[in-house]
Chain A
Amino acid sequence: MSEAASSEATAVAAATSSQDPELGLAAVAALRGLVEVLEALQVENARAKGWSWQQIAARLGVTKQAVHHKYAGRRFGFRRS
Chain B
Amino acid sequence: MRNLSRLHVPRTPARPGEAPDFSYVDLSPAGAVSRPEVTAKVRDIGPLALELVRVLDDAHDAVGPWNPHLDASDLQVGLRHMLLTRIYDERMQRTQRAGKISFYMRSLGEEAVSVAQCMALRPADMLFPGYRNQGLHIARGIPLVDLMCQLLSNTRDMCKGRQLPVMYHSRAGNIFSISGNLATQLPQAVGWAMAAAIKGEDHIASTWIGEGGSAEADFHHALLFASVYQAPVIINVVNNQWAISTFQGYAGGEQRSFAARGPGYGIAGIRVDGNDFLAVHAVTQWAAERARKGAGPTVIELVTYRAGPHSTSDDPTRYRAKDEPEHWPLGDPIDRLKRHLIKLGAWSEERHQALSAELDAAVVMSWKEAVTFGTLNEGPRLDPDLMFEDVFKEIPQNLLKQRALMRTEKG
Are A and B associated in one complex? no
Name B residues whose Cβ lies closer than 8 Å to a Cβ of A: none
